[in-house]
Chains A and B, each alone.
Chain A
Amino acid sequence: MNQALTPAHAAEYLYREAHLLDRQRFDEWVDLYTSDAVYWIPAWKSEHQPTENPETELSLVYCASRNALVDRVWRLSSNLSVASMPLARTAHAVSNVIVEQAGDDTMDLRSSWTSHVYNPKYKSQHVYFGSYEHRLQRVDEGWKIARKKITLMNDFIPTVLDLYMV
């Protein structure tokens, strides 16, 4: 679909990303990202303010390439991480999708999300929620994610947060 994205197509792109995470099809999920993609979850520096500059302030996750995401996805299914065995079950809901900017080659989107996370080992559950900012970029084979910023509103983390939970 190497053509201009309609707002409806763009929103569906976000739903498909969430779907791949929920189905734990992590290799396909990583393939949505450009090789120089930035994936960023800021930390918070006060009650009201998330961190703004990843070079001088702390983030929860800051991955500056698809390679870094591949590392993380590899770990999830490596059987070498007790925090990932068993994997939690998740259900994402993405909503309130707003097109901030639409050009021929890029599109910027904002949305809200919740993710219900169920830990089968302890039969415990938690809801993470926040907002997404996506930059989609046109590439030869279609559209990919060049940048994703996740603002996590409830950042006091119950034991574990991993990429597929948010």
Chain B
Amino acid sequence: MSKKDIASLVDDRPEDGVFRLHRSVFSDPEIFEMEMKYIFERNWVFLGLDSQVPHPHDYMTTTVGRHPVVVMRDGEGNLNAFINSCPHKGARLCHLAQGNRKIHVCQYHSWSFDSAGRIRGLKFKDDGQYSPAFDNDSHDLAALPRFEVYRGFMFGALSADVLPLSEYLGEARTFIDIAVDTSPQGLELVPGVVGFTFEGNWKLQLENCSDQYHFTSTHPSYLKVLDRRAEKGWEGTVRANVRGRGGRKAMQFPADGLEHIAGGSTSFEHGHNLNWNRRTVNDSHPLFERAEELKERFGEARRDWMFNTRNLTLFPNVQVAENASSQLRIIRPISVDRTEMLTYCIAPVGESAAARAQRIRQYEDFFNPSGLATPDDTINYEDCQDGHLNPVSPWLQGHARGMMLAGPDGDPFIDRLGVKALSSVIGGVELGDETIFHTYYRSWRALLQAGQRADEAAARSQPAPASARLVETVR
């Protein structure tokens, strides 16, 4: 069990204007083990959208922490999540990313299970070889201790001791609502999944999505391509929703005393956050065809928020990035310096063919690891990871910008939604707030410390193993 002093790695002194992270947070394998155990395996983790398993007997496979999981819809339409491992010898039960099966047969010894996870066939069970004790055991698939769905977003937990999902998501739910409400039928994933890896810690991805400060420095080639397209008026290139330098001036907001505000960042409890940029309601957004309808249904303020760029992180493993296009990202940590990403284009059900095609082109342009922007991010993560091992300058300086602005009040844009934030910052194009990361690391610290305390308490309540007692006696 780890005795690592987690608090000593987060230098969190808001009263002194200080927030610093120790580099080992990104590079210490022992901390990574703790993250898997205490965050990913004892807390809510995003699994997928329920629209990925729309029909009876549909299933999809995923992971929670280091463990294979399968989500199944049973014959009555109920969703459940199970450990994707046969209770007999542990073989993986479902092998494909998704599919449809009434009966799942383990390929190793043919134990079979229905789509509700119940054992349906245990080969040669009735020939008298099993003891009554075995008969008394359940042979069903092991259900995840907690599984809940919020507006199509499915979450699971390997521990029963977690908050109700609605409480865990808290005020961040409003931004799931804003994304889902862009269509009366909700959201779907455009067919085609793009997976990639980077040789860096998973929290580099967590931060980058919330990091407005990097945009103009990491992506000048993308912005310049947009300018080139605008200058040349080129046919057959993608019309972007994100604007280059010239385009930004064209964003004319109403003269209401807030016209200088370009965007902001907002933090919520339990590690969730949002960074956003103002956009006018304009036809470079695929949603423009529904602008009036959405205004009628949800009011002008909420409709306008649908057009703002929004990067929502639901701690610890999912991000909904709606900026250049709309992306669902699932973060899967593999080791302290390796991360897998599963990425999808997420879109409102029922949008027109033209809007859908525009969304897909904008997506490929920006978000793909084969696109014009994401590779510049992920290479930066790898370069960061390189430096995170150095012992000479152990404290990072990347979490301080915005300390003079952050507070619980003072964001009229968030107020219009009736959302209560933990902390908010708004400002002009140069804002680049970094206090938005603090909620990640305060939750991170709390979960790791809670895990340590729980393990210590469990160890105290258990008698020490015989060998340890023997050592104690000899001493």
State the A residues within 8 Å of B (CB).
Answer: 36, 41-47, 51, 54-68, 71-72, 74-75, 78, 80-84, 122, 155-162
Residues of A within 8 Å of B363, CB to CB, are 58
Knowing A67-B232, A71-B229 are in contact, say whether A159-B369 is a contact too (CB < 8 A). yes
Number of interface residues of B (CB under 8 A): 48
Question: How long is the Cα–Cα vector from A63 to B237 in the complex, in angstroms?
Answer: 7
Would you give the shortest CB distance from A96 to chain B, in whole angstroms? 24
Beta-carbon contacts under 8 Å, B292-336 to A: none
Contact A160 B356 (CB under 8 A): no
Asked whether B376 lies within 8 Å of A82 as measured between CB atoms, the reply is yes
Complex: A68 Cα to B239 Cα, angstroms: 11
A75 in contact with B353 (CB, 8 Å): no
| Residues of chain A contacted by B229 (CB below 8 angstroms) | 71
Known: A54-B357, A66-B236. 17 other contacts (CB 8 A): A51-B192, A55-B357, A60-B368, A61-B371, A62-B360, A68-B236, A68-B237, A74-B228, A80-B221, A80-B224, A82-B218, A83-B375, A156-B197, A159-B369, A159-B378, A159-B382, A160-B370
Assuming the A-B contacts A46-B97, A67-B232, are A159 and B194 also in contact, with contact meaning beta carbons closer than 8 angstroms in the complex?
no
* Given A45-B191, A68-B237: A158 in contact with B197 (beta carbons within 8 A): yes
The closest CB in chain A to the CB of B234 belongs to: A67
- A57: chain B residues within 8 A (beta carbon): 190-192, 360
A161 to B: closest C-beta gap in Å: 4
In the complex, B193 has a CB within 8 A of chain A:
yes
Q: Which residues of A contact B428 (CB under 8 A)?
A: none
Which residues of B are interface residues toward A (Cβ below 8 A)?
96-98, 190-199, 218, 220-222, 224-225, 228-229, 232, 234-238, 344-345, 353, 356-357, 360-361, 363-364, 368-372, 375-376, 378-380, 382-383
Could you say which of B198, B228, B353, B370 has the most chain A C-beta atoms within 10 Å of its C-beta? B370
Can you give 5 A-B contacts (C-beta < 8 A)? A57-B191, A58-B194, A67-B235, A74-B225, A160-B375
Residue on B with the closest CB to A65?
B236
The 8 closest A-B pairs by CB, nearest first: A65-B236, A58-B192, A83-B375, A43-B192, A80-B221, A81-B221, A161-B370, A157-B196
Cβ-defined contact, B357 with A56, below 8 A: yes
Q: How far is the CB of A56 from chain B (nearest CB, A)?
A: 6
Tell me, rounded to whole Å, the shortest Cβ–Cβ distance linking A6 to chain B.
32
B residues near A59, Cβ cutoff 8 Å: 192, 360, 364
